[in-house]
Chain A
Amino acid sequence: MNAKTPITRTYLGIPVPRPKVAFFELSSCEGCQLQLVNNEATLLDFLSLVDVRTFREAMTEKLDDYAIAFVEGSVTRADEVDRLKKIRGTAAVLVAFGSCACFGGVNQLKNRFKDPAWVKKEVYGSHPIETNDTARPLEDFVKVDLQIFGCPVKKEEVEKIVTNVVLGKSIVQPKYPVCMECKANENTCLFDLGEPCLGPITRGGCDSWCPNSRFGCWGCRGPTVDANVEQMREIMNKYGFSEETMLDRLECFGGFAGHAAEMRKTVRRGGPAWPPE
């Protein structure tokens, strides 16, 4: 931001500081950062809340004094560990921004193969390529102060959380599942429409974003408090969906990694020609 922008703004007549924030991305599609730019209606108001110091996707200036760091993406290569530790060293608050940062996201789908060399060879053949054997969430390497879930993050939720951080209010993550929000939205249950859905076990807060479009939940926000995965399995069976269908959804974003690993022991995909998972 330039010098002309006011340093403070007021809330209920009381001046509130504009915290210095920075955005970073590790291995990702950069979509979560784009979600901020994508919020045209409130973007300018939102930007006036904070002092953007680094946002490579949008600006040339790179200033390394910041209090809040939003880090998108998962860690998949050694140099990203160094970058992440450096960011952690500067930021007072480190935010894991989106499902890749929180759980590994779709990137962790490569982790299910037993042989990391096969993964490299499948894409690059014999050409040497540097990568870690597994894609990991930020918290495996540094302390994470706050998680914002979703693939992609929901901009309204991001703005609410950031506003609360700026105003010093506490951040409360929803304890209820997506299923409850879907009911509140008066949607027809997707199981009744013949679609599988992880809404009953997935953390809410997205306002049942996908089910609102008659598209079943894939669990991108991870498990809700006390998620009953076993009962979910029974529901899927009852409606005639295969174990493989359940596993595909459980393992997609990494939030249910433990449950997926357990399930993978009994669910097989394809014949002996498949690479071992």
Chain B
Amino acid sequence: MKITQNIDIRHLTRVEGHGNIKIAIKEGKVEQATWEVVETPRFFEAMLVGKKWENAPWICGRICGICSIGHTLASIRAVENAFGIVPTDQTSKLRLLLKHMETLQSHVLHLYFLAAPDFVNVGSVFPLIDSHPDVIKRAAKIKLLANDLCDCVGGRRMHPTRTVIGGFTMLPGKEELVKFKYRLQDVVDDLTRTADLFRQFVIPDFTRETEFVSLKGDGDYPFIGGDLVSTDGVVKKEHEYRLMTNEYMVGQSTSKWSKLSRQSFAVGALARLNNNFAFLHPAAKELSLSFGLKPVNHNPYMNNIAQLVECMHVVMESIDLINGMLDRELQEPRQKVVPREGIGVGAVEVPRGILYHCYEFDKEGRIVKSDCVIPTSQNHANIQHDLMALAEQYAREGKKDRDIELLAQMLVRSYDPCISCSVH
């Protein structure tokens, strides 16, 4: 049957920020399938101009409430690279532990509170509090652990306070870390149950061949710094990030868009997994394979499963990180900072994909120019092309409008977009 319908969703729910979906199908032919970003710009790159270096991470963390730790760490890395500061081994490990816990809390928030309601046909997580109390308690337990450990290492789960250029203002106590180790070991079982839950869900059958961009692992599944890679074979250095992002403006979006070898590319958990599968922790790898997820997977809905796999990876690796710290004496937390003229780039894998901060400093350490390229802004063009392909596929198949509407929303949610972040 040739379908005709109009879908007009203003301010899509259960995503961070403001975006609209518009689809128009006339007698089986897709006339329009548009992903609009209407978020207000806040002009962070302008705000920073004239500010001294120590302002950058404190202000830039405020780009995003969900991934403020990731922004803070990317900002710190950009400043440290500009000033030639190499973090100590202890600082690097604590930052990675902090980063892992942000990844865990963000992925669990997305999987349980934002994505799962679609798979069980409810409008939000709230009805599930009554109907599935155990499931919600499990989600809250994992999130609470992740956030508590963020408090312990970063001083605060949102807009962290202990993370500074040169290291940390203070360190967690070993007794605290021991307790967190046990709590991490305890949630491994909760993640296995989370996997059991997601195995009951039907992941929509839709693929579109896509280029995936992420950090390039060098022995480890990468999160902070290093080379950049795409599944189409592009490899660049961190400071050459602009060759990966190629930002441009379009009329339908207040966020910039990106492209690389094709008309669009994707970043995020699925991109990281597609590029760095070999470096996953064995338990995470096993979990991935149990869902049939291996590189290169081109189904955007599988980003949900890739997030689940990463939850397992970051928990297992965090246990190892804590074990390593418990075996050693804690060192001085903070290095002295001497500003100098120059440019620095920080690339960090945040929950929704690769994030870049770049600052140019004058000789007194004031910011002359700044640039932040956000994961979701890199994904917008890919969401747009996915949406068009999805509308065309389902129009061809004669799907009912409620189905297309739901599947289109689920598609956008699969990217776990952080829209206000993307516009910043």
A-to-B contact residues, CB < 8 Å: 1-2, 4-5, 25-35, 37-38, 40-41, 43-44, 47, 52, 55-62, 76-77, 80, 105-107, 109-110, 113, 118-120, 122-125, 127, 129, 131, 135, 151-152, 209-210, 212-215, 218, 244-245, 248, 252, 269-270, 274-275, 277
The yes or no answer to B63 lying at the interface (CB within 8 A) is yes
Q: Give the docked Cα–Cα distance between A123 and B130 (Å).
A: 46
Q: Contacts A57-B16, A135-B42, A214-B169 hold; do A29 and B421 have CB atoms under 8 A apart? A: yes
A210 touches B362 (CB 8 A): no
Return A266 CB to nearest CB of chain B, in Å: 15
Asked if A60 contacts B117 (CB within 8 A), the reply is yes
B140 on the A face (CB < 8 A): yes
Q: Given A213-B170, A214-B169, A215-B164: A274 and B49 within 8 A (CB)?
A: yes
When distances are taken between beta carbons in the complex, the residues of chain A under 8 Å from B5 are none
25 A-B pairs with C-beta separation under 8 A: A1-B127, A4-B130, A26-B40, A27-B420, A30-B420, A32-B65, A34-B65, A37-B113, A55-B124, A56-B13, A57-B13, A57-B15, A80-B40, A105-B62, A118-B46, A122-B49, A125-B249, A152-B65, A152-B158, A152-B159, A214-B169, A218-B58, A270-B366, A274-B49, A274-B50
Known contacts being A52-B126, A58-B113, A245-B52, is A110 close to B14, with CB within 8 Å?
no
Q: By the criterion of a CB under 8 Å from any partner CB, how many residues of chain B are at the interface? A: 62
A59 with B143: CB separation less than 8 A: no
What is the CA–CA distance of A244 and B420 in the complex, to the nearest angstrom?
30
Chain A residues with CB under 8 A of B298: none
- Given A213-B170, A215-B155, A218-B58, decide whether A2 and B126 contact each other with a Cβ distance below 8 A: yes
Determine whether B3 belongs to the interface, using a CB cutoff of 8 Å to chain A: no
* Residues in A whose Cβ lies below 8 Å from that of B50: 269-270, 274-275, 277
Given contacts A57-B14, A119-B43, 5 further A-B pairs with CB under 8 A are A31-B65, A38-B143, A106-B47, A213-B162, A252-B58
Bound-complex Cα distance A124 to B423 (A): 11
Known: A213-B161, A269-B366. A113 touches B42 (CB 8 A): no
A38 lies within 8 A of B164 (CB): no
Task: For B114, list chain A residues within 8 Å (CB).
Answer: 58
User: Which B153-181 residues have a C-beta within 8 angstroms of A?
Assistant: 155-159, 161-162, 164, 169-170
- Of chain A, the residue at the smallest CB distance from B16 is A30
Residues A252 and B59 in contact, CB atoms below 8 Å apart: yes
In the docked arrangement, what's the CA distance between A129 and B364, Å?
33
A182: min CB distance to chain B, Å: 13
Whether B158 lies near A76 (C-beta < 8 A) is no
Contact pick for B254, options A33, A129, A212, CB 8 Å = A129
Of A40, A52, A127, most B-chain CB atoms within 10 Å = A40
Q: Which residues of A are found within 8 Å of B156, using beta-carbon distances?
A: 209, 213
- What is the bound-complex CA distance between A105 and B61, given in angstroms? 13
The answer to whether A275 and B158 touch across the interface, beta carbons within 8 angstroms, is no
Knowing A244-B52, A248-B55, the reply to whether A1 touches B41 (Cβ < 8 A) is: no
Instruction: List residues of chain B with CB within 8 A of the CB of A118.
Output: 46
Chain B window 125-162, contacts with chain A (Cβ cutoff 8 Å), 1 for yes, 0 for no:
11101100000100011011001000000011111011
Q: A213-B162, A218-B58, A270-B362 are in contact. Are A43 and B66 (CB under 8 A)?
A: no
Q: A214 to chain B: which residues have CB within 8 Å?
A: 162, 169-170
**Is there contact, CB below 8 Å, between A213 and B155?**
yes
- B11 at interface by CB-CB < 8 Å: yes
Which residues of chain B are near A270, meaning CB under 8 Å?
50, 362, 364, 366
> Which residue of chain A is the closest to B130 with respect to CB atoms?
A4
- Compute how far the CA of A269 lies from the CA of B420 in the bound complex, rounded to whole angstroms: 29
B268: shortest Cβ distance to chain A, in Å? 19
- Are B13 and A59 in contact, CB atoms less than 8 angstroms apart? yes
Partner of A129, one of B41, B45, B130: B41
> In the complex, what residues of A have CB within 8 A of residue B141's CB?
40
Q: How far is the CB of A274 from chain B (nearest CB, A)?
A: 5
Which of A106, A129, A277 is the one whose CB lies under 8 Å from B62? A106
Which residues of chain A have C-beta atoms less than 8 A from B387's C-beta? none
Contact B43 A123, beta carbon cutoff 8 Å: yes
Q: For the complex formed, measure the closest distance between the CB of A181 and the CB atoms of chain B, giving whole angstroms.
A: 15
B13 touches A122 (CB 8 A): no
Residues of A within 8 A of B40 (CB): 26-27, 76-77, 80, 131
Chain B's nearest CB lies how many Å from the CB of A170?
A: 29
The 4 closest A-B pairs by CB, nearest first: A31-B65, A59-B124, A213-B155, A60-B123
Contact of A119 with B46 in the complex, beta carbons under 8 Å: yes
CB of B109 within 8 A of CB of A37, answer: yes
